[in-house]
Amino acid sequence: MANPKITFIGAGSSVFMKNIVGDILQRPALAGAQIRLMDINPTRLEESAIIAKKLVATLGVPATVETFSNQRQALDGTNFVVVCFQIGGYEPSTVIDFDVPKKYNLRQTIADTLGVGGIMRGLRTVPHLWSICEDMLQVAPDAIMLQYVNPMAINTWAISEKYPTIKQVGLCHSVQGTAMELAHDLDIPYEEIRYRSAGINHMAFYLKFEHRQPDGSYKDLYPELHRAYREGRAPKPGWNPRCPNKVRYEMMTRLGYFVTESSEHFAEYTPYFIKEGREDIIEKFGIPLDEYPKRCVEQIAKWKQTSEDYKKADRIEVKQSKEYASSIVNSVWTGEPSVIYGNLRNNGVITSLPYNAAVEVPCLVDDNGLQPTYIGELPPQLTALIRTNINVQELTVRALIEENREHIYHAAMMDPHTAAELDLDQIWNLVDDLLESHGTMLPEWARGPRKQRVA
């Protein structure tokens, strides 16, 4: 059969690109894929091309690798579009998202999904995603966009609102990643775990989390998770000693369900954990303030060495990652079915959440594309908490769609963590400072001085 054309927009994200390309080329039906790499940074693009070509050589497959500086050319006639860029990068944008709120004593951990950091990231990112959609409509209208960019829910929602005919899915590894962590905490092989999760990106919950028994039946693992936390056996130390993962276990004891995204993320999606004058809470739950900037600095330093190693190496070790991209491409291309967790427009799949919201649910994938599975109504306490995050997402999307600057302030007002820490004047002044600091990184309608409110 023909070979798929797979375009990477933001291919300068070299490690991520390496993982996805490595996954794709290990699948027999995709071994001859045409890999198209596009990035605006010529140095990073060249580094990624070297890595991709060495992956091809290491695996001994007939795949081809091309590079592009022009987005539309890279998309022309493609079958799949993998999006993995960060507008504004660590400097200046991530630094701004953390440093400006600190002037108001508003502290954050990751700031890429919700809160004032997530709102600003959405304002920077969505217009560029829309430009990809516009090009896809012109030169690749049947392609599927595999979108790996944060803020995932805001991005997915904004694309479905403005470009409803674009086939897209937002992808994150938090569902399968957290399931692996919990299996490790309970000393159970991951392969023996069965789960069902639903909600929104970074705030989905395991509605079922079970262990397959020798007789083929399944045992509910929630009692054991509660017992392990109560007895101090969980959470076990993870890959990052700064992030002990206690927040999610604590929330499980209050809600009855375990959330899929990390404790450092979840701490800033709620008003309970990062509070001025409550250092005891920060210490008790090990909440890693300013975690994302620290990771950025570490990753930048690590990449300098890694890129040199890749350039010198004749072969590059290829391991299977836990990303869904290759499963989707393989299933769509061959018809071989798979199940993934994806972010798509709700359309009634979760009946207790807004119809047009972006939800994260299990999806069947085959040559018919991505088909979300029906969930129905979530437990009311989960619905209520998720809605607090959807409020922020919806207002940010409205700001973008309507080019309505007022809704940026409204989104910040509704954010659970921001509203728990700041008064109304502080919130509006903080948004002013962030918009001014980001400047031309933002769409033109969002720049400039704020109009005075009518008393």
**Which one of the listed residues 128, 173, 184, 226 is annotated catalytic?**
173
In angstroms, the Cα distances linking 443 to 196, 286, 447 are 39, 37, 7
- Taking Cα atoms as reference points, which of 68, 1, 57 lies closest to residue 25? 57
Residue located via tokens 């705030």: 203
What single DSSP character describes residue 376? Answer: B
3 is in an annotated binding site: no
What single DSSP character describes residue 103? Answer: T
CB-CB neighbours of 204 under 10 Å: 27
Calpha distance 306→309 (Å, rounded):
5
Beta-strand relationship, 218-220 and 203-212:
antiparallel
Contact yes or no for 37/48 (Cβ under 8 A) = yes
- Taking Cα atoms as reference points, which of 214, 203, 290, 299 lies closest to residue 247? 203
404 is in an annotated binding site: no
User: Could you write out the DSSP letters of every residue in 309-364?
Assistant: HHHH-SS------S-SHHHHHHHHHH---EEEEEEEE-TTSBTTS-TTSEEEEEEE
In angstroms, the Cα distances linking 325 to 179, 374, 380 are 18, 22, 32
Residue located via tokens 């008003």: 271
150 is in an annotated binding site: yes
Helix (H, G, I), strand (E, B) or coil at 246: helix
One-letter amino acid at 396 equals: T
The overall longest dimension of the chain from CA atoms, in Å, is 70
128 belongs to the catalytic site: no
Contact yes or no for 343/157 (Cβ under 8 A) = no
As annotated, the active-site residues are 173
> Would you list which residues are annotated within the binding site for Mn(2+)?
172, 202
> Would you list which residues are annotated within the binding site?
150, 172, 202
